Amino acid sequence: MGKGLITILLLVVSNSFMTLAWYGHLKFGSGSKLVSNWGLFGVILLSWLIAFFEYCAQVPANRIGFQGTGGPFSLMQLKIIQEVITLVVFVIFATIFFKTETLKSNHLIAFLFLILAVYFVFKK
């Protein structure tokens, strides 16, 4: 498996944990007496704990993927890839766990522009 694919897989793992850390308490806190009774400080601590695992994947992804450390991607390319993965992971998460959220045509148009951003950042 090449460094580019490893980087992308680690970014998917990383963004999955980060999405859970940032938005999971909104879903799981509303249906769980345990999390909803914790208060803001408790939820922040829980989110930091989850975010620790995000960093355990994000930092290696950037080190493996960055051209300056022997990887295939420039810093700008890494960031654009990460942003697209973040949004894809978020849309999957929101669609599965938040049934009130729907994917609309304006969202699809925005994603098209993100795909164009990836195209342009890799264009020489």
pLDDT tens-digit series, residues 48-100 = 999 999 999 999 999 999 999 999 999 999 999 999 999 899 989 988 888 88
* Measured CA distances, 71 to 1, 23, 64, 112, 113 (Å): 13, 31, 5, 27, 26
The per-residue pLDDT for 10 is 98
Which pTM was predicted? Answer: 0.85
pLDDT tens-digit series, residues 15-57 = 999 999 999 888 776 655 666 677 788 888 989 999 999 999 9
DSSP secondary structure letter of residue 66: B
